[in-house]
Structure formats: C-alpha cells, structure tokens
Amino acid sequence: MKQRKSGLPAGLQIRVPRTPAEREAAFHLRWQILRQPWQQPPGSERDDLDAREDAAFLVIAVDAAGEVRGTGRLHRIDATTGQIRYMAVNPGERGRGTGRAILDALEAEAARWGLNRLVLNAREDVVGFYTRAGYAVSGPAPTLFGAIPHQRMEKSLAKPPEG
Ligand SMILES: CC(C)(COP(=O)(O)OP(=O)(O)OC[C@H]1O[C@@H](n2cnc3c(N)ncnc32)[C@H](O)[C@@H]1OP(=O)(O)O)[C@@H](O)C(=O)NCCC(=O)NCCS
C-alpha cells in the first residue's frame, strides 16, 4: 500500500477556494472557531480585505467529501512584510499537520509575493504552534474581546538562492 508522506488526513487538499460556496464555508469555520465561542455575531469574522477576492490570500483545507476543515489568510502590510490571520482548524482534526500545511501554503505565497517577513498576533495557547514553525515572540499584542491574551510573533522568510 502506498504510504502517505505526512500525517495529514487522507484526501485532504490544501488550496485556495474554487467557488463562492467554499469561501463562505471558510468564513463560517472561522466564525465557529474564532468568534462564536466569545458570543461574536456572524460577520464579525471578516474584515475589509475579505470583501475582495484579490485583496488577501485565503487558503482552505478541504476533505475528500468537499468539506472545509481548516483555513488561514495572508495579506500584505507593506512592500516586504505580510501578516497571517484567521488560522483555524476543525477541533476534531487538530494535531495531524493540517494547521502547519495551511501555514506552509501561506508562507509559500508570501515568498511568491517577494515578502521577506511575516508577522501575526498569536493567542497565547497557540504560541507553541507558531514557534514550531519558526516564529518568535516579539512582544505583547492586544487582548481580543477583553479575554484572549495575544503575543506578537514574527518570522523572516528565507531568501531564494541567487543566480
Ligand atoms: C492553531 C491551530 C490552527 C493548529 O492547527 P493543527 O492542525 O492542530 O496544527 P498541526 O497539527 O499542523 O501542528 C503542527 C505542530 O504544532 C504543534 N502544535 C499544534 N498546536 C499547538 C499548540 N496549541 N501548542 C503547541 N504546539 C502546538 C503540533 O504538535 C505540531 O508539532 P510537530 O511539528 O512537532 O508535530 C489549531 O489548534 C486551531 O485552530 N486552534 C484554535 C484557533 C486558534 O487559536 N487559531 C490561532 C489564532 S492566533
């Protein structure tokens, strides 16, 4: 039997949404994981950059049945720096590499954009996830909803080899 190279769930695809329904499913998952537990209304999971498809880079993890199981987003801050936001993986599927695969896809896109630095605000309980991926804490970040402490983290992206 052919062995998978990673622990990612079989049939899981990491890619951009292909339909408006897949984008909506990504936003819904974002809301369920990052907003609903703090009584934030539907819609609170989006910002202005989500209104236009080309304003930010949205990634989804889609299972074999076509269900969106994870998501994350990259946007540009300036000519050299990007920000990762809205990382969320379905609770039942965490710890199998899905979050890392989404982050890798966002980083690959940042490199394609020519960015050399990524920043993010990490909930304190997931600082370890980002540390494993090479991010370092650079200072405190604002507390969300008066309840969720965050740390500012950043990572330098490797420059492509010259020549
Ligand atoms: C953070 C999150 C996206 C990680 O997704 P995931 O699919 O569970 O992550 P992975 O399985 O790809 O983990 C990659 C590595 O990070 C580690 N890791 C994952 N979550 C971690 C955590 N909370 N603390 C420390 N390490 C963690 C894994 O053990 C794994 O380590 P390894 O490389 O040694 O095997 C997911 O836990 C989540 O959606 N959390 C709730 C929403 C949230 O807090 N989002 C971030 C907002 S800033």
CA 97 to centroid of ligand 1, rounded, Å: 8
Minimum CA distance residue for ligand 1 atom 27:
129
pLDDT in the model for residue 158: 78
pLDDT in the model for residue 3: 42
Of 42-56, 85-99, 109-123, 148-162, which gets the smallest average pLDDT? Answer: 148-162
Q: How confident is the model at residue 160 (pLDDT cuts 50, 70, 90)?
A: low
Indicate whether 5 pLDDT > 60. no
CA 161 to centroid of ligand 1, rounded, Å: 30
Q: Return left, alpha or beta for 10; rule: phi > 0 is left, psi -120 to 50 is alpha, else beta.
A: beta
Q: Which contacts (CB < 8 Å, 24+ apart) does range 40-47 have? A: 40/145, 45/86, 47/85
Q: Say if ligand 1 is within 6 A of residue 123 CB.
A: yes
Taking the C-alpha atoms of residue 99 and residue 87, their distance in angstroms, rounded to an integer, is 7
**For 58-81, how does the pLDDT look when each residue is reduced to its tens digit (9 = 90+)?**
999 999 999 999 999 999 999 999
Indicate whether 16 pLDDT > 90. yes
Query: What is the atom index within ligand 1 of the atom nearest the CA of 86?
Result: 47
Q: Are 74 and 56 in contact (CB under 8 A)?
A: yes
Q: Say if ligand 1 is within 6 A of residue 7 CB.
A: no
Q: For domain 13-115, say whether CATH 3.40.50.1010 is its number.
A: no
**pTM, full prediction:** 0.94
Tell me, what amino acid is at 122?
A
Q: Say if ligand 1 is within 6 A of residue 87 CB.
A: yes
CA 123 to centroid of ligand 1, rounded, Å: 11
Among residues 69, 75, 156, the alpha carbon closest in space to that of 109 is found at 75
Query: What is the atom index within ligand 1 of the atom nearest the CA of 7?
Result: 11
Query: What are the boundaries of each domain within the chain?
Result: 13-115
Q: Are 125 and 111 in contact (CB under 8 A)?
A: no
Tell me, what amino acid is at 77?
I
Residue 117 Cα distances to 67, 105, 134, angstroms: 32, 15, 12
**For 27-58, how does the pLDDT look when each residue is reduced to its tens digit (9 = 90+)?**
999 999 999 999 999 999 999 999 988 899 99
Beta partners for residue 94, in sequence order: none
Among residues 54, 105, 59, the alpha carbon closest in space to that of 76 is found at 54
pLDDT in the model for residue 161: 64
Query: What is the atom index within ligand 1 of the atom nearest the CA of 89?
Result: 39
Taking the C-alpha atoms of residue 129 and residue 99, their distance in angstroms, rounded to an integer, is 9
Minimum CA distance residue for ligand 1 atom 7:
99
